[in-house]
Amino acid sequence: MIEFILNGKVVQTDDEPDTPLLWVVRDTFKLTGSKFGCGIAKCGACTMHIDGSAQQTCVLPITAVAGKTVTTIEGLGTPDNLHPLQQAWVEQGVPQCGYCQSGQIMSAASLLTDNPNPNEAQLEAAMERNICRCGCYPRIKQAILSVAEQGQSGAVQLATPVAAKAPEGIQS
């Protein structure tokens, strides 16, 4: 039995220990916003936040997140309560097929938490782990930079809304 925090809730699973987090989240916990694109940590479609930082979860065995906090796109913001990046994504018409976008947004959110005012090179370095086969890159860039700008002006809060620390007593 492995226990971790998923979008703020303590959850437990008896999935086999080598099962990648991606499949536990998608199939066991039925949160399908995080996607399967390659299965070898080369496309970023499966990106989630583990203790606040972006990681590709298709190769991350569930044992690696025991006692940790996991945030998925569903925990970042909802249609009624959008994260500033999601708002920018919608307003700037970023998604095409949309399949990569959860991963893109999770990588971008982690970037802005670590570095609220990235320059273009820093942005590219953080985002190059995410493939977009539809080629939305110019808009992804634009959307992140616009949110960073709003963050600088205090118009939006950039700190990722996570999911508190592990409650007392949870096993690491």
Q: Which residues bind other proteins (CB under 8 A)?
A: 15-16, 19-20, 23, 26-27, 30-40, 42-43, 45, 72-74, 77-80, 82, 86, 89-102, 105, 123-125, 127-128, 130-141
Name the H helices within 92-136.
101-114, 120-127
Burial bucket for residue 132 (CB in 10 Å: 0-12, 13-18, 19+): buried
Q: Smallest gap, in angstroms, from Cβ of residue 105 to other proteins?
A: 7
d(C-alpha 113, C-alpha 108), whole Å: 9
Side-chain half-sphere of 29: how many Cα atoms within 13 Å? 27
Sheet with 53-56, edge to edge strand ranges:
9-13, 2-6, 69-71, 47-50, 53-56
Binding region for ligand FES (CB under 6 A) out of 2-10, 62-70, 72-80, 133-141: 133-141
- 90 interface partner picked from other proteins, ligand FES, none, CB below 5 to 8 A per type: other proteins
Our finding on whether 36 is near ligand FES (CB under 6 A) is yes
Our finding on whether 100 is near ligand FES (CB under 6 A) is yes
Residues near ligand FES (CB under 6 A) are: 36-39, 41-46, 56, 58, 95-101, 132-134, 136
